[in-house]
Each structure stands twice: as C-alpha cells, then as structure tokens.
C-alpha cells in the first residue's frame, strides 16, 4: 500500500521485516557473501523457521486436501507451527483448537494460496513488492522468534526507517503473544512529536 498508494499512506509500522537480497551494484561485498551462502546466525534461523514455505508456495492445494481431510492432521500442523513461531507462549488447548478451526472451516488451501501468488508476482517482477524504496516513515518492531528478520542495513536500504526496536521476547504472532509491547511501539511511532506527525525521530534501539 505504501508503494502503490503513496498519496494515501502517511506511514507504516511493521513487525515482520522483509527485504530482497543485497544489490550487486550498491553493496558488492554483501552481495558476494550472499552468493557464497555465508549466512549470519540470524540468516540461519530465518531458514530454519521457514522450511515449510516451499511446500505452501508450490503445493498449497495438495497440502490443503491433506489437512482438511483429518482434524488430527490440521491440529498437529498447527501445534507444530504455533510452538515454533512463538517465543514459548503458553498455548491453551482452547486457543489451539480455535485457531485450527478457523482455517479448517475456511479451507486450509485458501490460507496458503497467498504464498504461491506472492511468489509468482516476485518472480515475474522482483521490484513489484520489495525492490522499491518506501519513502514514508517506517516503524519496525523486531521480535526474536519472528519467522524472518532481514538485516537492519538491508531494511534501511529499502525504506525510510525512523523507528526500530528490538524486543527480548515475542514471535510471529506478537499481537497475540505480547500485545502491549506492540501497542506501545505503534503509539510511540505515531505520537504527535514523533516521526510521522512531528519533526522528531523515535529511538532506534
């Protein structure tokens, strides 16, 4: 939205940090390390947490049939994902069943189709989603168990980062795991004297 409707979007706040690989011309050393698969510790964690993506990206309908055919299968799938994608959040049986049923009733394939379609768009035109610079102020909340955390320098190459905060806990479902921490970040980013409505610049911690 910030790229396609810049006249209507004043700022954005995100908590899943994505960025394309380093630019070969702008950052040759970073690009060389990337090509040699010299992953940082965070990069390795990113790969470990997103191994499932290849399946959902290429075979969402096939996987959807398997999950929808068996309530036990979709519960097992969700237990694995909810535990891996959160920072030791104490999921209750009711919460797990509730989350699984939302996807079960609406068709698991529907929730996974977005990955296939997004990949098709990126493969056709890498600049369409992540390759352009976002000029509006961008706020970022970084939670350690998020699925993918792009390096800060690469994110700053792709957007006008005005707020950056690392948290000690939290994961992919930060709004569920630690809602107050996320709300506090958003409130600080959009405060009257902050980077969006004022002339100040919020802390980059």
Helix/strand/coil percent split, the chain, to 5: 50, 10, 40
> How would you classify residue 139: left for phi > 0, otherwise alpha for psi between -120 and 50, otherwise beta?
beta
Q: Residue 151 pLDDT more than 60?
A: yes
Whether residue 132 is found in the same domain as residue 107: no
Last residue of a domain, one of 119, 134, 159: 119
Do 73 and 168 fall into the same domain?
no
pLDDT higher than threshold 60 for residue 199? no
Query: The tokens of 66 are what?
Result: 């398997």
Regarding whether 109 and 62 lie in a shared domain, the answer is: yes
Is-contact 186 177, C-beta < 8 A?
no
* More reliable by pLDDT, 33 or 89: 89
In a domain, 3, yes or no: no
- Asked if the structure places residue 198 within a domain, the reply is no
Inter-residue contact 177 to 86 (CB < 8 Å): yes
pLDDT surpasses 90 at 130: no
Mark whether 142 and 88 lie in a shared domain: no
Give the mean pLDDT of 172-180. 97
* Confidence class for position 3, pLDDT limits 50, 70, 90: confident
Region class of 107: left (phi > 0), else alpha (psi between -120 and 50), else beta? left
Q: Which of 58, 98, 105 is nearest to 79 (CA)?
A: 98
The verdict on 98 and 138 lying in the same domain is no
Listed ranges 50-59, 93-102, 121-130, 195-204; the one with the highest mean pLDDT: 93-102
Q: Is 136 exposed, middle or buried (0-12, 13-18, 19+ CB in 10 A)?
A: middle
Residue 132: CB partners within 8 Å, gap ≥ 6? 3, 158
Query: Do 160 and 61 fall within a single domain?
Result: no
Is the residue at 201 inside a domain? no
Q: Tokens representing 92?
A: 């209750």
Q: Which domain holds residue 170?
A: 12-39+126-190
Domain count, the chain: 2
The Cα 123–Cα 20 span in angstroms is: 12
At which of 65, 88, 119 does a domain end?
Answer: 119
Burial 5-36 (b: 16+ CB within 10 A, else e): eeeeeebbbbbebebbebeeeebeebeeebee
In a domain, 80, yes or no: yes
pLDDT classification of 204: cutoffs 50, 70, 90: low
Average pLDDT estimate for 90-114: 89
Residue 47 lies in a domain: no
Instruction: Locate 180 and state its tokens.
Output: 């107050």
The pLDDT of residue 178 is 96
Q: What is the DSSP string of 62-83?
A: HHHHHHHH-HHHHHHHHHHHHH
Do residue 130 and residue 35 come from a single domain? yes
* 115 and 167 share one domain: no
Least-confidence region, from 139-143, 153-157, 164-168: 153-157
Percent with pLDDT over 70 in the chain:
90
**Range 143-162 average pLDDT:** 87
> Which of 119, 136, 170 marks a domain boundary?
119
- Report the range of poorest mean pLDDT among 53-57, 90-94, 130-134: 130-134
């Amino acid at each position: 939205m910030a790229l396609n409707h810049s006249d209507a979007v004043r700022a954005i706040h995100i908590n899943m940090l994505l960025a394309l690989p380093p630019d070969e011309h702008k950052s040759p050393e970073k690009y060389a390390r990337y090509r040699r698969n010299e992953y940082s510790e965070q990069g390795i964690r990113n790969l470990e947490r997103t191994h499932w993506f290849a399946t959902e990206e290429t075979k969402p309908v096939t996987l959807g049939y398997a999950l929808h055919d068996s309530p036990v299968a979709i519960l097992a799938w969700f237990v694995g994902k909810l535990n891996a994608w959160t920072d030791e959040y104490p999921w209750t049986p009711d919460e797990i069943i509730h989350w699984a049923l939302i996807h079960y009733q609406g068709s698991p394939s529907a929730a996974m189709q977005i990955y296939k379609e997004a990949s098709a768009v990126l493969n056709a035109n890498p600049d369409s989603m992540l390759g352009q610079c976002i000029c509006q102020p961008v706020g970022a909340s970084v939670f350690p168990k998020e699925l993918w955390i792009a390096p800060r320098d690469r994110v700053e190459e792709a957007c006008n980062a005005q707020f950056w905060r690392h948290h000690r806990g939290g994961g992919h479902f930060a709004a569920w795991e630690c809602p107050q921490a996320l709300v506090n970040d958003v409130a600080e980013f959009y405060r009257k004297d902050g980077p969006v409505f004022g002339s100040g610049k919020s802390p980059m911690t």
